[in-house]
Structure 1
Amino acid sequence: MSRRRWPAAMCALVTAAAATAVATPAQAANPIITSIYTADPAPLVVGDTLYVYAGRDEAPTGAGNFQMREWHVLSSADAATWTHHGAKANIGTFGWAGADAWASEVEPRNGKYYWYTSVNGNGPGWMNIGVAVADSPLGPFTDAKGGPLISDSTPGSSGLNIDPTVFVDDDGQAYLYWGGYWGPRAVRLAANMTDTVGPVVTPAGLTDFWEAPWMFKRGGLYYMMYAANDTGGCVTDTDYACQRYATATDPMGPWTHRGVVLGQVSSTTNHAGIVEFNGQWYIVYHNAGAPGGGDFRRSVAVDRLYFNADGTIQPVVQTTTGPPPNPGGGGDGTNLGPSATVSTSHVSAWEHLAAVNNGGTPAGSQDRSNLAYGNWPQQGVQWIEYRWPTAKSINRSSVYWFDDNQGIDLPASCRLQYFNGSQYVPVPGQSTCGVAGNVENVITFSPVSTTRLRLQITSRSGYSTGVLEWKAMQS
């Protein structure tokens, strides 16, 4: 069961209803939209559509503070080409609010969509968490409660009540996490999604937590990603932040810190969400990458995210190209590589295992523009492997070899193996496993149904081997 999350900052009166905007296509690159500045993204999958909910940065050039008054929605059918649906909520959505449309997230339940927001109330204190509701992912959204869900008056609340993330578990229990200023908080939600149940607690084990929690579940394990700004492997300057993550076997923890998911970005803040869409995992985050961008003029970006076989997350490689189109579906010619978890016998510290299934189209065997995998200084027999959670029917593969004209060269030979339930065996009827450079070497074989496909590579004497792209085609 995958989860989705969403995001958000400052003020004056705004119209009570969110403006209706004509949906317009956005560019297929990072950032995913440059017509306005967007921040604090939260992804949500509904059917065959990936939505991103984000706040709008309106600070002028040179401003030293956030200016945010509305929340926008983008959508995509392939995680590469985006449609901007305009503002679907704003400060005026909440009659009790005064300013600061900060980080938010939408969570579906009971046929409705609940939009949890960080917003400044008119009363004492600073930030509150509100909740709006709609019958559609695109609204219209209206205030679901008539006042804050979480505020400074909530017993046990955070020093800064921002960045809500909501998770509904398989048993129907909903959980709310939030907090800033090193103050993570968690509480159970009632079935109506607008009231809390039981006490607010401080989750244990979220090492160096600063703000921006994001909760999801994969393979029975709970994951919590969050922003940190420590210099112990996170950032070199505490004005910036990275995204760390922890795991737990219970949604309320305790949590075990696992490492950094997303390193420092070009904006000082770092706010992200993780979601599975069409069999591929993605991270949605913001940076200062749009023309004229900056710390208070941020923009949403999307990149692929990969898990290791043991459930840990590989550090994300930030790109300016964004992910290749992933429309889902099946049938002849579908490359199953992007939906697989990839592992290897060895990867060089300066190369990237993610290169083998990130959808690149190499211009030649020395083309590093979309990353490269190499296993230097290992020699002899090495391997890379795909794993899927359910069996796939495969009858064709192709590999584009990496050759850096140094320690990595084209291999001496290769062969494909699949896991038959008890051991790895050669795929039946395998054609020649080509080792030519600067081409896509295609391998055909009789269809196999398997959860694992392995490419075994034998190096030339004195050299290591590498791959720019490896495809596994559905039969």
Structure 2
Amino acid sequence: MRYRTPLVLLLPLLLVLAPIAALPAHAANPIITSVYTADPAPLVVGNTMYIYAGRDEAPAGTQNFVMREWRVLSSTDAANWTDSGPRASIATFGWAGADAWASEVEPRNGRYYWYTSVNGNGAGWMNIGVAVGDSPLGPFTDAKGGPLISDSTANSSGLNIDPTVFVDDDGQAYLYWGGYWSPRMVRLAANMIDTVGAVQTPVGLSNYWEAPFMFKRNGLYYMIYAANDTNGCVTSSSYACQRYATATNPMGPWTHRGVVLGQVSSTTNHAGVAQFNGQWYMVYHNANAPGGGNFRRSVAVDRMTFNADGTIQQVVQTSTGPGPTVTNHALTASRSTSYVSAWESLAAVNDGFTPANSADRSHPVYGNWPEQGTQWVQYDWTTPVTLRQATAYWFDDNQGIDLPASCQVQYWTGSAWANVPGGTACGVAANTANTVTFTPVSTTRLRLSFTSRAGFSTGLLEFGALS
């Protein structure tokens, strides 16, 4: 056995098939306390966020991982969670012997592929296996009949654990994994169970230790990973933080950007990222549940925020969790306007795009050049929605379109337009989603009116209508 340091970060997530009643949990961190869970990997499908996590079964005082199954947690608001029980286990893989460590699920062609860290029987130690199911909850079965990655794989990692899989817009899938300071990557075939080409060593993942997780936002690739250096990460290398890097190509090279999650209460630190209901979240684990410890960890969830330049603010760890997600009802509204330029797009205001800044032309925008004075953009719903916030991300092309002089949010009372009750000031700042908070209203229409600055027209990148 080559596992030399019992305090390092290793990720358990397996799939068990035993039918267990789903157990709801209250909104707090950790999100589940009925069992210990670790090494979370999130996946959003429709209106549900799933978290695939291993189960820590170590008795109190045990100084080693005892992990034999993977569980599925789920939520429709990122605050209240249901434990659907074990959905895979070591028994899912006939060739496996022990150690249900970190895993991740990736959908493709209507199926769900579960990539796992598991101890194989025979030569070598940790391997990466893959199971497949027809729904996020399975049932899952071994998709390959043997390891996808093992010690016999050319240029394999010093420890073949912690798989993260990403399918790009062109359909190409990538697998990253590795521990003991040894990140690795390889392309996956379209069948998601075979590799294509040689295993490569990623460049630029500074201070990498283990636990990679890859995602994409606004055309930029992000990799978060565990590091255990004392250069701004942790005070003792027995613990770990989460660093992150970015790239313009899924194969790198990567540029290190900083720490995104500081040291947690467990020695290991494993995290994943998901966008859900218009908000970004980081899922991770700590030792904060009653009776918790380094080998009795629990999954937590907190909000994650991006700066205008695409960098990430360090996640604030809380005991309360993020609270229920806010639904952006703009995404389901029909839209109209007083005027839109022929070369611009009214559809841009409610397509869920996240602008980099107010001059972001990488995506269609709404503009009303050459009109001036007061104009408006309106949403309509076929049935009433309850709203309590609106957001306006203004467009400024540094030419004929400028930030407005003023704005006002109004709702349809059923017979007339009225200013939203108790509303905060309607902001006209650049490079941000200006938020108007008001007393909740139930309505079928919402309107954003705005008055231009003298000599200019006005534009919008996104207009949100939030519950």
- For the 8 Å contact 2:178–2:184, the answer to whether it is kept is yes
- For the 8 Å contact 1:51–1:76, the answer to whether it is kept is yes
In 2, the alpha carbon distance for the partners of 1:328 and 1:452 equals 19
In 2, the alpha carbon distance for the partners of 1:51 and 1:9 equals 16
Partner of 2:327: 328
Within the alignment, does 1:8 sit opposite 2:7 as a pair? no
1:443 equivalent among 424, 427, 451: 424
Within the alignment, does 1:63 sit opposite 2:44 as a pair? no
Offset, 1:26: 1.3
What are the superposed Cα offsets for residues 157-183 of structure 1, whole Å, 9 maximum, x if unpaired? 001000000000000000000000000
Matches of residues 55-94 of structure 1 in structure 2 within 5 Å? 55-94=54-93
Partner of 1:301: 300
Partner of 1:38: 37
Label 1:327 to 1:85 Cα distance change in 2 as closer, same or farther (>3 A): farther
Within the alignment, does 1:128 sit opposite 2:120 as a pair? no
Within the alignment, does 1:146 sit opposite 2:127 as a pair? no
Partner of 1:427: 406
Partner of 1:119: 118
Offset, 1:474: 5.2
Offset, 1:100: 0.1
| Secondary structure class of the residue paired with 2:329 | coil
Q: How many residues align?
A: 382
What are the superposed Cα offsets for residues 32-87 of structure 1, whole Å, 9 maximum, x if unpaired? 00000000000001111100000000001111000000000011111111111000
Label 1:214 to 1:149 Cα distance change in 2 as closer, same or farther (>3 A): same
Label 1:472 to 1:145 Cα distance change in 2 as closer, same or farther (>3 A): closer
- For the 8 Å contact 2:12–2:38, the answer to whether it is kept is no
What are the superposed Cα offsets for residues 219-269 of structure 1, whole Å, 9 maximum, x if unpaired? 111111100000000000100000001111111111110000000000000
Offset, 1:425: 1.9
Runs of 4+ in 1 over 3 A off after TM superposition: 7-10, 339-344, 388-399, 416-421, 428-431, 450-456, 471-475
In 2, the alpha carbon distance for the partners of 1:197 and 1:19 equals 34
Label 1:472 to 1:198 Cα distance change in 2 as closer, same or farther (>3 A): closer
Matches of residues 366-445 of structure 1 in structure 2 within 5 Å? 418-419=394-395, 422-428=401-407, 442-443=423-424
What is the TM-score of this pair, normalised by structure 2? 0.74
Partner of 1:353: none
Partner of 2:223: 224
Label 1:195 to 1:473 Cα distance change in 2 as closer, same or farther (>3 A): closer
Partner of 1:206: 205
- For the 8 Å contact 1:397–1:443, the answer to whether it is kept is no
Letter in 2 for 1:248: A
Matches of residues 210-359 of structure 1 in structure 2 within 5 Å? 210-326=209-325, 328-330=327-329
Letter in 2 for 1:145: K
- For the 8 Å contact 1:307–1:341, the answer to whether it is kept is no
Offset, 1:216: 0.6
Within the alignment, does 1:158 sit opposite 2:157 as a pair? yes
Label 1:159 to 1:185 Cα distance change in 2 as closer, same or farther (>3 A): same
In 2, the alpha carbon distance for the partners of 1:102 and 1:455 equals 42
| Secondary structure class of the residue paired with 2:91 | helix
Offset, 1:428: 3.4
Superposition RMSD on alpha carbons, in Å? Answer: 3.7
What are the superposed Cα offsets for residues 258-307 of structure 1, whole Å, 9 maximum, x if unpaired? 00000000000000001111111100000001000000000000000011
Identity rate, percent: 68
Unaligned runs of 5+ in 1: 1-6, 345-387, 400-415, 432-439, 457-470
In 1, the alpha carbon distance for the partners of 2:405 and 2:188 equals 52
In 2, the alpha carbon distance for the partners of 1:25 and 1:158 equals 38
Offset, 1:328: 2.4
In 2, the alpha carbon distance for the partners of 1:239 and 1:98 equals 27
| Secondary structure class of the residue paired with 1:428 | strand
- For the 8 Å contact 1:77–1:327, the answer to whether it is kept is no
What are the superposed Cα offsets for residues 350-403 of structure 1, whole Å, 9 maximum, x if unpaired? xxxxxxxxxxxxxxxxxxxxxxxxxxxxxxxxxxxxxx988796999989xxxx
- For the 8 Å contact 2:389–2:435, the answer to whether it is kept is no
- For the 8 Å contact 2:240–2:269, the answer to whether it is kept is yes
